[in-house]
Structure 1
């Protein structure tokens, strides 16, 4: 039975037997549905290229929650965080002030959260950059890039990218959106 005023960020580490990737949005637990192959492919594509290109001082984090406030602990699909902050191997969350980029691969079952609520929460927590990745016509991907307007604490759309995402924020990146992993046999 949930608490009357909702769950708090620290509760995610105390509730036994939660499914993997459970998020906390507005004090409510959000159980994530199984992901489609497009989602997994885009995570692998972006993670691989971010790992190769992220400069020293930035670390790539996949599917880990970020504490945005007392009742907010969403799980971006990927993040670039300040690597100078020491998180031990037992850490289960990242602090919002360490996140430089949050990436959400939009899924049909989480479309409203991914496109509306999470961007609001990330902006209110002053996360400077956001990418929303969407599937178009079959398996093609479009990455919508946003930059935080610190005065209004909302995101400004700076571009949509297909085939290639080339940007200098939050760092110099040149992401091939047509990349496919080589099959490993042996």
Structure 2
């Protein structure tokens, strides 16, 4: 067998560190937790989103929050909408994501309740360069397996949100079924009924 040269890049490979536990993750400072996700116990570093990505997430959250409040005024259970918050999908091995937008049932703050999959009604991920596989394959499977009822994959153009791919959980298979794609060019004001009755005003989703 031929020996590897001492300067070969293969010599720089090191075994991955031990998996991060839920307890260890909860001890991390917030500034570190905000920069990572944990997948099967291993740290995945998250690049800071581009300004357009951040703007789109904020505008989507504002739109969803407006309709959530309207629904609550008509008797719907308490709902919260947030950007970039910890969402615990599994404790062992730890699976912790930070969706771009998430709508969820209000938590019991006095009890220190953490956001888990069973609280979430809708998770939204905005596709950016380098996140295509994660958003359309990896997270699509993870969120479905965790039992989150609705998942949206959002794409941008030069001025804002251009398409919203909508998925709904099929409980029999625990897989998402595509239920339609909202397109700015095709419908100026699409109305949907799930997870809440709402109308997409594309102008509200521009940068």
Q: Distance in 2 between matches of 1:11 and 1:30?
A: 15
TM-score (norm 1): 0.84
SS at match of 2:139: helix
Please, which of 171, 177, 182 is the counterpart of residue 196 of structure 2?
171
Q: Does 1:110 align with 2:123?
A: no
Q: Report the structure number with the largest CA radius of gyration.
A: 2
Q: Deviation above 6 Å: which 4+ runs of structure 1? A: none
TM-score w.r.t. structure 2 length? 0.76
Partner of residue 103, structure 2:
80
Q: In angstroms, what is the RMSD of aligned CA positions?
A: 2.4
Alignment correspondent of 2:148: 127
Cα separation, partners in 2 of 1:9 and 1:116, compared to 1, 3 Å: farther
- State the alpha-carbon separation in 2 of the partners of residues 173 and 105 from structure 1: 19
Aligned residues: 178
For structure 1, the 5+ residue unaligned runs are none
For the residues of structure 2 that align with 1:9 and 1:111, how far apart are their CA atoms?
A: 27
> Which one of 49, 52, 65 corresponds to residue 63 of structure 2?
49
Show structure 2 runs of 5+ residues with no match. Answer: 1-14, 73-77
